[in-house]
């Protein structure tokens, strides 16, 4: 599937009036409104959306497609909260079915990566009382003492709200403590959908939208960066998605601290919302594209391949996405337990590079803050025919 060229879209006299106006705005680098965001969801065809999103993507990044090498640590899958979409957590009443790592257990996992070329550890999991301010401060300190160059991307406002409240400290004091302990950045999880009515139904009593946004704001004010996700394709409407992105766009105007927008497709296996059908691949691609168009002040849009699978991740690169997360050793279980295509989500650097190259893009290994580590465009591998399944196009320079 190739997006329609923006010049073809602009020249199309039969195009719907609203879509024609939006295309002209995008071409002129103008921001689209809330209502125009809803219009895109309601009536824009896939090729049109791809054309606009790809125009923005290539203006910002050309053919560059970023990936990184990280590993995940999930301290526990037991959780006090009861999000209805979550397949991963074991309720606190059944905690014997789950895992709960000690600080030493986690350090053993981190040490298992000694000598491996990973640049980031991504830490996120369930919320439990023993994982408090002291625990996480110790953990971040120990990781930094052991491996100072490893970027610690850890926890979300869901955990921070809980541990700061328990410690009776303000968000400002708490985030300052985390910074001093070695936290480098915050991943984008826990955002779900900001609309209060929908959030109340699905998010199991965890932090509110306002609290989620406020903790990111404070973190940005400390000069640090974070990501933002949106869980879509469940019981929300198109207007709720635009509202979610609108709140992110407003905060980004204020702080500039978000790096990447990560739409997360709701997966329905093994959770309380299994009766809700999953979105189609076409809807996933439309959603990436609208995210790219709406969030004009975000540098990056990421498709998280362990969740959507390799082929959709490849397709997404023509629909506004410039980052596919990557990793040589993805140990996360959040999606495998929710029914994602990737049951053993691990790709070698060679596989990942070919996946990107074979849809005509340039694979760039990055660090967490998008510093370039290596351009793999012309890298020659020993067995260049090994992954025939991904062969499609030569690299476009
Ligand atoms: O907040 C949980 C989502 C998120 C399901 O910042 C589900 O680089 C779909 O935020 N179907 C956590 N999604 C993961 C996350 C993330 C992942 C990769 C990279 C980054 C980053 C952040 O996972 C949760 C929730 O929205 N989630 N269950 C499910 N059944
Ligand atoms: Fe707990 Fe996170 Fe699952 Fe919600 S999504 S139940 S906060 S682990």
* Average pLDDT score over residue span 20-30: 97
Which of 21-35, 87-101, 179-193, 273-287 has the lowest average pLDDT? Answer: 87-101
Report how far ligand 1's centroid is from the alpha carbon of 255 (Å). Answer: 23
pLDDT at 329 over 60: no
pLDDT at 339 over 90: no
pLDDT at 391 over 80: no
Query: Which one of 127, 155, 272 would you pick to mutate in the ligand 2 pocket, going by the greatest count of ligand atoms within 8 A of its CB?
Result: 127
Report how far ligand 1's centroid is from the alpha carbon of 335 (Å). Answer: 8
Report how far ligand 1's centroid is from the alpha carbon of 264 (Å). Answer: 6
pLDDT at 341: 59
pLDDT at 304 over 60: yes
pLDDT at 93: 63
Predicted confidence (pLDDT) per residue in 107-135, tens digit: 999 999 999 999 999 999 999 999 999 99
pLDDT at 331 over 50: yes
pLDDT at 337: 58
pLDDT at 383: 64
User: Looking at domain 64-375, which CATH architecture does it have?
Assistant: Alpha-Beta Barrel (3.20)
Count of positions (residues) in the chain: 397
Residue 389 confidence class, pLDDT cut points 50, 70, 90? very low
**CA dist 371 to 123, 258, 300, 352, 378, Å?**
21, 15, 13, 18, 19
Instruction: Pick the closest to residue 270 from 84, 126, 114, 57 (CA basis).
Output: 84
Instruction: Pick the closest to residue 75 from 32, 131, 17 (CA basis).
Output: 131
Atom of ligand 1 nearest to the CA of 337: 30
pLDDT at 393 over 60: no
pLDDT at 351: 87
CB atoms within 10 A of CB 392: 11
pLDDT at 344 over 70: no
* Average pLDDT score over residue span 281-303: 98
Predicted confidence (pLDDT) per residue in 63-75, tens digit: 999 999 999 999 9
pLDDT at 336: 56
Residue 386 φ then ψ, to 5°: -65, -40
Axis crossing angle, helix 281-294 with helix 46-61, rounded to the nearest 10? 50
Atom 8, ligand 2: residue with shortest CA distance? 126
pLDDT at 223 over 70: yes
Dist. CA 81–CA 203, nearest whole Å: 8
Dist. CA 208–CA 131, nearest whole Å: 20
pLDDT at 382: 75
Dist. CA 294–CA 80, nearest whole Å: 34
* Average pLDDT score over residue span 157-186: 98
Atom 5, ligand 1: residue with shortest CA distance? 86
Q: Is 275 exposed, middle or buried (0-12, 13-18, 19+ CB in 10 A)?
A: exposed
Half-sphere exposure (CA, 13 Å, Cβ side) for 174? 24
For the chain, what are the domain ranges? 6-61, 64-375
DSSP-derived secondary structure letter, 98? S
What integer best gives the mean pLDDT of the chain? 91
Q: Which ligand is nearest to the CA of 155?
A: 1
pLDDT at 388: 44
Report how far ligand 2's centroid is from the alpha carbon of 18 (Å). Answer: 39
């Amino acid at each position: 599937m190739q997006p329609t060229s923006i010049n073809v879209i602009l020249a199309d006299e039969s195009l719907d009036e609203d879509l024609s106006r939006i295309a002209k705005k995008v071409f002129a680098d103008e921001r689209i409104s809330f209502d125009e965001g809803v219009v895109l969801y309601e009536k824009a065809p896939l090729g049109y959306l791809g054309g606009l999103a790809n125009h923005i993507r290539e203006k910002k990044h050309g053919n560059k497609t970023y990936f990184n090498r990280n590993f995940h640590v999930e301290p526990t899958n037991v959780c006090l909260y009861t999000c209805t979409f979550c397949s991963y957590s074991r309720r606190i009443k059944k905690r014997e079915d789950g895992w709960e790592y000690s600080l030493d257990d986690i350090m053993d996992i981190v040490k298992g990566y000694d000598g491996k070329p990973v640049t980031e550890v991504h830490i996120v999991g369930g919320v439990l009382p023993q994982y408090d301010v002291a625990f996480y401060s110790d953990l971040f300190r120990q990781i930094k003492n052991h491996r100072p160059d490893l970027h610690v991307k850890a926890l979300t406002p869901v955990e921070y709200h809980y541990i700061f409240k328990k410690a009776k400290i303000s968000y400002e004091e708490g985030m300052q403590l985390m910074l001093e302990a070695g936290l480098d950045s915050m991943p984008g999880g826990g955002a779900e959908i900001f609309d209060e009515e929908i959030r109340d139904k699905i998010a199991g009593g965890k932090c509110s939208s306002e609290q989620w946004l406020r903790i990111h704001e404070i973190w940005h004010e400390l000069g640090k960066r974070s990501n933002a996700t949106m869980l879509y394709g469940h019981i929300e409407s198109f207007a709720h998605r635009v509202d979610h992105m609108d709140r992110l766009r407003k905060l980004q105007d204020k702080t500039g601290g978000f790096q990447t927008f990560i739409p997360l497709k709701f997966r329905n296996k093994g959770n309380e919302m299994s009766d809700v059908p999953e979105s189609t691949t076409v809807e996933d691609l439309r959603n990436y594209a609208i995210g790219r168009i709406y969030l004009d002040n975000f540098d990056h849009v990421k498709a998280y391949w362990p969740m959507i699978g390799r082929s959709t991740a490849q397709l997404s690169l023509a629909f506004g996405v410039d980052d596919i997360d990557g990793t040589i050793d993805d140990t996360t279980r959040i999606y495998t337990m929710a029914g994602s295509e990737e049951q053993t989500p691990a790709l070698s650097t060679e596989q990942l590079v070919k996946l990107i190259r074979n849809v005509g893009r340039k694979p760039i290994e990055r660090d967490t803050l998008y510093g370039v580590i290596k351009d793999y465009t012309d890298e020659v591998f020993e067995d260049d025919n090994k992954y025939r399944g991904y062969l499609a196009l030569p690299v476009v320079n």
